[in-house]
Amino acid sequence: MAIHFSLSLLLLLVLCTVTFQSPHTSHTNITIVVTNSVTSGPSRTYSAYAVYRGSLFGAMKRLQQSDDFEFTYSEHPDYGPFVESVNGLAGDFSQRTYWQLKIRKPDGTIILADVGVGCYLPTFNDEIILNFTTY
Ligand code: B12
Ligand SMILES: *[C@@H]1O[C@H](CO)[C@@H](O)[C@H](O)[C@H]1NC(C)=O
Ligand SMILES: *[C@@H]1O[C@H](CO)[C@@H](O)[C@H](O)[C@H]1NC(C)=O
């Protein structure tokens, strides 16, 4: 009886782990590419990850801790973080430069993000393009 009970418990535990836990503990791997279309300086590519349904902002914060990637942002009350600078290079409204956010999906299509880094939730193998450009 006791053995039967613990076996059932073990089975339940395994099932719970497989069905509920694994999607939440897996990482959404992405790459982050930093490019400059104004001075056409060299590009940098980083490997990073978002957590399950986590934001790009979180992935960038984590990358900043672990790699030589660096960014600053200002907070907009409604739209969240606005990326001001990446790797020491800052956008400047007087020169009409900014860091543009694009996403290359695994099938190769490139999307201009319609939300900022705080709202964008990466999906697996997204290539995040931070493109220094003019408007
Ligand atoms: C002009 C504008 C810009 C300009 C702002 C500079 C300037 N000199 O004005 C530029 C070209 C830099 C810009 C960039 C982006 N923008 Co814009 N922008 C606008 C727009 C058309 C008007 C904003 C405005 O002047 N409002 C009037 C003033 C009085 O209000 P304000 O609150 O002070 O305005 C400031 C903020 O809107 C801020 N801002 C502008 N865009 C964004 C985006 C984010 C994520 C944040 C946090 C702040 C922010 O800049 C304004 C001036 O300081 C709005 C759409 C709209 N009609 O509101 C989109 C809008 C705000 N932008 C948007 C987006 C998505 C972006 C980008 C992420 C686009 C991209 N893929 O790169 C980038 C930001 C990337 C980054 N570095 O973080 C979205 C935000 C939606 C959301 N929930 O996140 C909007 C609503 C347009 C849309 N797609 O629907 N943008
Ligand atoms: C995600 O990246 C990590 C570290 O680079 C790697 O060990 C893991 O296998 C990757 N996951 C998938 C599903 O590709
Ligand atoms: C960066 O932005 C400029 C202007 O929008 C564009 O011509 C260029 O192709 C962009 N670069 C990338 C890598 O998307």
DSSP string, 17-28: IIIIIHHHHS-E
Cα separation, 112 vs 99, whole angstroms: 12
Spatial separation of the C-alpha atoms in residues 99 and 121, rounded to whole Å: 18
Give 57-92 pLDDT, tens digit per residue: 999 999 999 999 999 999 999 999 999 999 999 999
Ligand 1 atom nearest to CA at 80: 47
Residue 22 confidence (pLDDT): 55
- Ligand closest in space to the Cα of 50: 2
Q: What is the pLDDT of residues 32-63, one digit of tens each?
A: 999 999 988 889 999 999 999 999 999 999 99
**pLDDT confidence band for 26 (50 / 70 / 90):** confident
Nearest residue (CA) to ligand 1, atom 40? 82
DSSP-based three-state secondary structure for 120: coil
pLDDT tens sequence across 10-23? 544 444 455 555 55
Q: Whose CA is closest to 117, among 131, 105, 128?
A: 128
Task: Specify the pTM.
Answer: 0.90
> What's the token pair of residue 2?
């006791």
> What whole-number distance in Å separates Cα of residue 13 and Cα of residue 43?
46
